[in-house]
Amino acid sequence: DGGITQSPKYLFRKEGQNVTLSCEQNLNHDAMYWYRQDPGQGLRLIYYSQIVNDFQKGDIAEGYSVSREKKESFPLTVTSAQKNPTAFYLCASSSKQGWGYTFGSGTRLTVV
């Protein structure tokens, strides 16, 4: 079955450490996205990529970095510069402009 796989489902990180969240899709979608979900704040866009080897900052990119070396993969690194990294992170992809997204099941990151 086609879909988006995010791993791990739960992740714990010590303060000061970088951590990378995985997102893989087998839908042959060109565009991929990373959102952060916090209670009462909805989903906020971190980074997005419309094509391999290209990506753009979203609304809350500070403290995060991404790469898009392959069409199927769009990993997100939460760096130690991110002041409040504890959140639920969602990866999504889309095949055509404006047609909506397919979401992964998310990664819950907790900084301890």
Partner 1 sequence: AQSVSQHNHHVILSEAASLELGCNYSYGGTVNLFWYVQYPGQHLQLLLKYFSGDPLVKGIKGFEAEFIKSKFSFNLRKPSVQWSDTAEYFCAVSLYNTDKLIFGTGTRLQVFP
Q: Rule CB under 8 A: choose which of 76, 90, 109, 111 binds partner 1.
A: 90
- CA–CA distance, 72 with 53 (Å, rounded to integer): 12
Residue 71 engages partner 1 in binding (rule: CB under 8 A): no
Q: Closer to partner 1 by CB, 33 or 74: give it.
A: 33
Which of 27, 52, 58, 73 is close enough to bind partner 1 by CB under 8 A? 58
**Site mask, partner 1, residues 17-56, x = CB under 8 A?**
--------------x-x-x----xxxxxx--x-x------
Q: How far apart are CA 109 and CA 101, in angstroms?
A: 22
Q: 69-98 as b/e, with b when 16 or more CB fall inside 10 Å?
A: eebbebbbebeeebeebebebbbbbbeeee
Asked if 101 touches partner 1 (CB under 8 A), the answer is yes
Q: Does residue 94 belong to the site contacting partner 1 (CB under 8 A)?
A: yes
Q: Respond yes or no on whether the N-terminal peptide bond of residue 85 is cis (omega within 30° of 0).
A: no
- Binding-site ranges for partner 1 (CB under 8 A): 31, 33, 35, 40-45, 48, 50, 58, 90, 92, 94, 97-101, 103-106
